[in-house]
Structure 1
Amino acid sequence: MDRQQEFVLRTLEERDIRFIRLWFTDVLGFLKSVAIAPAELEGAFAEGIGFDGSAIEGFARVYEADMLAKPDPSTFQILPWRSESPGAGRMFCDILMPDGSPSHADPRWVLKRALARAADMGFTFYTHPEIEFFLFKERPENGSRPVPVDAGGYFDHTPHSAGHDFRRSAIMMLESMGISVEFSHHEGAPGQQEIDLRYADALTTADNIMTFRLVMKEVALEQGIWATFMPKPFTEYPGSGMHTHMSLFEGDRNAFYEPSGDFQLSKTGRSFIGGILRHAAEITAVCNQWVNSYKRLWGGAEAIAGAGGEAPSYVCWGHNNRSALVRVPMYKPQKGNSTRIEFRSLDSACNPYLAFALILAAGLKGIENGYELPPGAEDDVWALTSAERRALGISPLPQSLDEAISMMERSELVAETLGEHVFDFFLRNKRAEWEDYRRQVTEYERGRYLPIL
């Protein structure tokens, strides 16, 4: 038994932890949990806990259902909303086949494979997400319009506002679980919040995002309100994204930093951006996997620095240009290794393991093949005409889930990165979602056509 496992077992005894929740994520990014008693944990560390993989979205077919969830002791944390004695703890799990080999259906394994490939090239991949979401006064009933908890706007501070109190409680809970928060504020729409997590390696960040989404919902329920990560709940208000800053490190050296480069960006950093731009359309179905995601990307103003800008719908990059898909923020010499890029199309409701794996794979492909970076966009890309965008070589992202699926299914990069099992299931599931969506008769159609036809 290693030291981390011994630490977990000792902590259970010292803190009177009687319930251990083993967490993992299905292919669509939904958190799954099974609880075990402390007496079972030593066996779980050694062999894993068996479960029926065919009951989990995308994991296995009925005739190959047996799977094992093996807890990762480095992810152990006490659950702060179960603070009464006896307490509860949690660990993320790796999913294994009965012979002990990794399951190719496990999103965490998909990301681990991508990170191993980066490591073979000498890189560690770091990410820093800015997570947006909405708070409503209550859980919306089917078909009803949700009611935001406040009428605030970007950076607003209203005394005794529900959002302010919520963010304080949520951040305290996150930090008690070892998840560091860098910033928090009210976003541009009524009831919309943003909480930014500190930089961490991509696997830790993905685990933290899964924990974050659950913590936000738990805190909301405790306060009698409702949290949602739906990309665009309102027609007239901005949608919620997860702009993610990222960089590659070689040991302690930031591989994106070059003092003499434009914007202090190295050739490695430029090729990484080139890879993302080259493959952006192919990876969109995973980064923006819901029908509603495209209402955010193409449906109007997104909360960008309170300026009412637009969501990043076009494939281009820019320096401090918040209308671009990839932004190179201003370098801050006082912060040392601060050169980074920001990928702006991600939903906060994506599967972070699969999304990070694909973004990394696209960037590494750019480095391997020495992709040249096209000129950066200097103007508000949304303000340009279609002809002006074409002249600049700026193409659009997919405009619907259907279009995104079509781009993804032709992508060798996505198939190779996700693996055959996840690739095939994801496409089947998303095709079914699109078919179900396009059969629906909407309130818009009834309101527009019933009175006149």
Structure 2
Amino acid sequence: MAYENEFELFTGDKDHREPAMPHVAFSTESMDFAYPFILKAIDQLQKVGIMPNAYYPEGGIGQHELSMLPSDPVTAADNEVIYKRIIKNTAKAFDLYASFAPKPLVDSAGSGAHIHLSLWQDKEDAFFDDKAAMQLSTIGQYFVGGVLKHIQGLLALTCPSANSYQRLAPGHWSSAYATYGQDNREAAIRIPSTSWGDPASSMNIELKASDATANPYLAFAGLLAAGLDGITNHMQPDGYCDVDPASLSQAERDAKGIQLLPRTLSQAVDAFEADSLFQQVFGKQLVDAYAKIKREDDQYYAKLALEKLAALHRELY
């Protein structure tokens, strides 16, 4: 497992944040601007045993992505906590401020923390089947089916802030519908194409409905529980889609079994609390306490203007 984090760089203090550079996505100009900061961040990550995978400037204003290599779930969750501290502290050393908020600016692209996951058995990728559609094995299909079965409540763990739902909207490569598809960046679950020359060990699934406001330990536990429930109960996934589901009519989405994801944190919390799987995995005491805190958060932030909500989360995360 591994998180694929996006973050935005700002200048100024908390009362006057400005994007560090209104750059062009994937451009060498943007890379040149961020080069000293990124090089230092990579060095600091490697010193604590976190191996970066790839870097590039992203599509948002001042937005960047620096991904990590995968590891086991507990190590990956540890790495996420340490990674965010290193990025923030390194940015500070360059008189910059790094925010992992899902929507730090109302009019900019949102920042996700997508979760990539594969299951292995006897040193082989259990999600890979060269003869299957998308090269996704039956076990992989069941896993996706389980995640989609429980995704409404899972979002309370993977997208657990009011700001999360400013990001989850059609046309933002963040997913607004409970669907899956090969290389579909508008799906909640993307099935990436395997790597050239190494298909047998590169099959994974990507949960795009996820951001850096999450507790990674709870998010991973919920995701694994949902997927393993799918494997145990042979849940074939509904809702395959190879286009932006927002481009379909409601009748077309209904025919494919595609449902809208929760539009608010409170809706996700209601689904989380009502899901017997999460009650079993986390226990009633944790579920009740978590739901109470998150509902209070959502009620507080619901009273604020969108700009104020984004600004507060920009500083919190």
TM-based fold match above 0.5:
yes
2:236 aligned with 1:362: no
Match of 1:180 among 40, 51, 56: 51
Is the 2:61–2:109 contact (alpha carbons within 8 Å) kept by the matching residues of 1? no
Is the 1:135–1:163 contact (alpha carbons within 8 Å) kept by the matching residues of 2? no
Aligned partners of 1:420 and 1:435: how far apart in 2? 22
Deviation of the 1:400 alpha carbon = 0.5
The number of equivalent residue pairs is: 307
Is the 1:150–1:163 contact (alpha carbons within 8 Å) kept by the matching residues of 2? no
- Structure 1 partner of 2:283: 419
Is the 1:318–1:328 contact (alpha carbons within 8 Å) kept by the matching residues of 2? yes
2:200 aligned with 1:326: no
Deviation of the 1:329 alpha carbon = 1.2
Counterpart residue type for residue 248 of structure 2: L
Aligned partners of 1:442 and 1:200: how far apart in 2? 37
Sort the Cα spacing of 1:217 and 1:375 in 2 relative to 1 into closer, same or farther, 3 A. closer
Which structure ranks higher in relative contact order (CA pairs < 8 Å, sequence separation ≥ 6)? 2
2:211 aligned with 1:347: yes
Match of 1:154 among 6, 11, 25: 25
More strand by percentage: 1
- Structure 2 partner of 1:139: 13
Aligned partners of 1:162 and 1:378: how far apart in 2? 36
- Structure 1 partner of 2:118: 247
Deviation of the 1:359 alpha carbon = 0.5
Aligned partners of 2:186 and 2:31: how far apart in 1? 34
Aligned partners of 1:355 and 1:379: how far apart in 2? 27
Task: Specify the SS of the correspondent of 1:182.
Answer: strand
Counterpart residue type for residue 174 of structure 2: A
Give identity over the alignment, percent: 33
1:91-149 deviation per Cα after TM superposition (whole angstroms, max 9, x unaligned): xxxxxxxxxxxxxxxxxxxxxxxxxxxxxxxxxxxx122100111002322xx5x3010
Sort the Cα spacing of 1:441 and 1:248 in 2 relative to 1 into closer, same or farther, 3 A. closer
Aligned partners of 1:161 and 1:301: how far apart in 2? 28
- Structure 1 partner of 2:73: 202
Task: Specify the SS of the correspondent of 1:200.
Answer: coil
1:401-420 matches, cutoff 5 A: 401-420=265-284
Sort the Cα spacing of 1:223 and 1:256 in 2 relative to 1 into closer, same or farther, 3 A. same
Match of 2:63 among 183, 192, 211: 192
Point out where structure 1 has 5 or more consecutive residues left out of the alignment. 1-126, 303-309, 445-453
Point out where structure 2 has 5 or more consecutive residues left out of the alignment. 309-317
Aligned partners of 1:160 and 1:334: how far apart in 2? 28
- The structure with the largest alpha-carbon Rg is 1
Task: Specify the SS of the correspondent of 2:201.
Answer: coil
2:75 aligned with 1:211: no
Deviation of the 1:373 alpha carbon = 2.3
Counterpart residue type for residue 279 of structure 1: H
- Structure 2 partner of 1:439: 303
Sort the Cα spacing of 1:366 and 1:138 in 2 relative to 1 into closer, same or farther, 3 A. same
Aligned partners of 1:434 and 1:405: how far apart in 2? 10
With the length of structure 2 as denominator, give the TM-score of the two structures: 0.92
Is the 1:243–1:342 contact (alpha carbons within 8 Å) kept by the matching residues of 2? yes
Counterpart residue type for residue 251 of structure 1: D
Is the 2:10–2:62 contact (alpha carbons within 8 Å) kept by the matching residues of 1? yes
Moved more, 265-274 or 160-169: 160-169
With the length of structure 1 as denominator, give the TM-score of the two structures: 0.65
Aligned partners of 2:211 and 2:90: how far apart in 1? 21
Match of 2:40 among 163, 169, 194: 169
More helix by percentage: 2
1:239-278 matches, cutoff 5 A: 239-278=110-149
Sort the Cα spacing of 1:423 and 1:160 in 2 relative to 1 into closer, same or farther, 3 A. closer
